[in-house]
Amino acid sequence: MPLLRGLVIGLFLAFANPALAAPALIADPAHDRVPEPSSPARAFQFESAILGQTRQIFVVLPPSYERTGPERRYPVMVVLDGEANVATATTVSEALAANGQIPECVIVAIANRPGRTDEESARLRVQDLTPPGLSVSGSSASENGDKFLDFIERELLPEVDRQFRGDAPRVLIGHSSGGILATWAAATRPGIRVVIAIDTPTLFGDDWLPKKLIAHATASARSKPPTPLRYVSYEARYGWRDDTWRALTAAAPRSWILQREHLDHENHTTMPMLAMYLGLREVFRDYSMLAAPTTPGRVLTYYDSIGTSLGATLVPPQPILRRMIQDLIAEGRGADARKTYLRLTSTYGPPADQQSLIARIIDAEQRPAPAETVEQLLAHPFPTPEQARAYLGEWTGHQWMTPEEPRDKTITLRVWVENGRVVGETRNPAAPPQFQVRRWEYLKITPAGMTWGFMNGMQPRALVLFEGMRHGETLSGVNRFGGIDFREDDGSPPPPLHFEYVKARN
């Protein structure tokens, strides 16, 4: 429903039956963009019956929004002090989402009420962001924090869901007094499951606020299942005391994600960007593609489980889906690659390279069924100590791509028995530090010799297999990618790596 048309219908219903009136986000052409010219935020006016006020709201839609249909819905990230923080939240969240570390979100930033003076503006802000029962900077102990959260949960979020395909999980980010309201929401609003509190003054009222969250943690730990929560506190000047934070972590259910960190080289005003980056990365650490399984068949189940813990349906990160397509094409599983491609386009829209990607999928569909898969190779049992007896010990030698390549870097193979099981590793001192010792993930004794290998650790996902032929005390041969049909751009196989090892000792 167009926004202006929604206003007309909303006004008609209000006059016909006030109980049916639905608040709407109304386009605000006079403030169509926030002051930061790089921000894509659009400004709206929201008539709130709960607050009895018109509030300015900034909305930032995720990059894939215009390319996807009505069935695609997005988590909603609510940002307090919206006029100051929307550009930072947008920059940070879009960078993390592009890297596959957090889901794409609809960002909803709520501007503070402007007063006639700076002092009045500050007082209005404290009124909105302070929960009843707490006095902040000389405020009363009966401020509007609960009413403000009611406005967010009962008016703003439903309208964002309706107009902009918002959905759970709800993320709330607050800085300073905004952190006070965000922490209060963590303690009292189970529908808000993800909270980032930035430099929050928690000491007011003899730790009134921490005590509320600790009480909620205690009650949640006793419920079955526990109420989910992901709460992080980043601090420079203000924050939690060590003893109250220990009490919170001790009381909380194991399923909660809790993180507290002091940010060096930051102060109260400089820290929001870094705190938002670290906070979003932390609360979605299990969503990150860096935490996801690399096996294509396990990815969708994995993300379904994360969605369950957040009370939402989450789609895998775009880089994960693209990686799955590449891996499935390389494995010759064209039909599965096509299914994943359709999921990619329905959740993120057609990619820029869709024509070449479709052509590769069609080519994979036309190939014969793969003779082996990465999973089959990884599941192959290692030989018994007796079967591997002739190969136990150390082998030293070299590997090379071309005959002219110097062979002055000695590589060592070790095969031994550990706790009754055969294990093996390759030691290459000339390799980068993380690759100098590679534990074998595949080992097979063949009539002609020994084949061993390990995962390549990059795209396309494959086992690097060294197929050695034994001649006396010498193992020689070439390597190949196992479990995939890897080809160069011209369709040719990659050049093999040659190797030769001599038995050094048993």
Task: Kindly state whether residue 301 falls inside one of the protein's structural domains.
Answer: no
| pLDDT at residue 40, rounded to an integer | 79
Residue numbers of the domain that contains 344: 311-370
Q: Has residue 339 been placed in a domain? A: yes
| Tokens matching residue 252 | 């909380």
The CB-side HSE value for 402 (13 A sphere, CA atoms) comes to 2
| pLDDT band at residue 489 using 50, 70 and 90 as cut-offs | low
Report yes or no on 221 lying in a domain.
yes
**Listed residue (329, 331, 327, 302) closest to 317, CA to CA:** 302
**Mean pLDDT, rounded, of the chain:** 89
Does one domain contain both 355 and 412?
no
Alpha-carbon distances, residue 271 vs 80, 235, 240, 265, 282 (angstroms): 15, 8, 16, 9, 16
Half-sphere exposure of 284 (CA within 13 A, CB side): 30
Last residue of a domain, one of 330, 349, 370: 370
The pLDDT tens digits of the residues spanning 220-272 come to 999 988 889 999 999 999 999 999 999 999 999 999 999 999 999 999 999 99
Both structure tokens of 355: 């024509």
- Tell me: the pLDDT tens digits for 375-385? 999 999 999 99
Tell me the torsion sign for CA atoms 347, 350, 352, 356. Answer: positive
Which tens digit of pLDDT belongs to each residue from 79-122?
999 999 999 999 999 999 999 999 999 999 999 999 999 999 99
Residues 6+ away with beta carbon under 8 Å from 408:
none
Band (25; pLDDT cuts 50, 70, 90): low
Both 115 and 242 in one domain: the answer is yes
> Based on the domain organization, do 214 and 83 belong to the same domain?
yes
Q: What is the CATH classification number for the domain harbouring 379?
A: 2.40.128
Residue type, 81: D
Nearest to 173 by CA among 234, 236, 228, 130: 234
Q: Final residue of a domain: which of 322, 339, 370?
A: 370
Q: 260 and 327: one domain?
A: no
What is the pLDDT averaged over residues 192-200? 97
Record the tokens describing residue 116, joined without a space. Answer: 């006639």
Q: Which amino acid would we find at residue 53? A: Q
Domain match, 75 and 127 both:
yes
Three-class SS of 438-468: EECCEEEECCCEEEEEEECCCCCCCEEEEEE
Beta bridge partners of 468: 450, 477
Residue 301 CA to residue 296 CA, distance in Å, equals 10
In a domain, 300, yes or no: no
Residue 350 shares a structural domain with residue 391: no
- Nearest 5 degrees, angle CA 379-CA 383-CA 384? 125
Residue 70 and residue 187 in one domain: yes
Q: How many domains does the chain have?
A: 3
User: Does 306 map to a domain?
Assistant: no
Q: Is the pLDDT of residue 21 over 60?
A: no
pLDDT in tens, 374-425: 999 999 999 999 999 999 999 999 999 988 888 888 999 999 999 999 999 9
Structure tokens at 46: 């929201």
* 375: enclosing H helix or E strand: helix 374-379
Q: What kind and span of H or E run contains 477?
A: strand 474-482
Quick one: 206 and 185 in the same domain? Answer: yes
The helix (H) or strand (E) run that includes residue 251 is: helix 242-251
Residue 125, C-beta contacts closer than 8 angstroms, at least 6 positions apart: 81, 112, 113, 177
Average pLDDT estimate for 146-158: 97
**Which tens digits make up the pLDDT trace of 308-324?**
888 888 999 999 999 99
Both tokens of residue 501? 């090892």
- Which residues contact residue 388 at a Cβ distance below 8 angstroms, ignoring those fewer than 6 apart? 382, 415, 422, 443, 445
In this structure, the answer to whether residues 393 and 262 fall within a common structural domain is no
Instruction: Identify whether 294 is part of a domain.
Output: no
Same domain (yes/no): 352, 406: no
Instruction: Indicate if 366 and 408 belong to the same structural domain.
Output: no
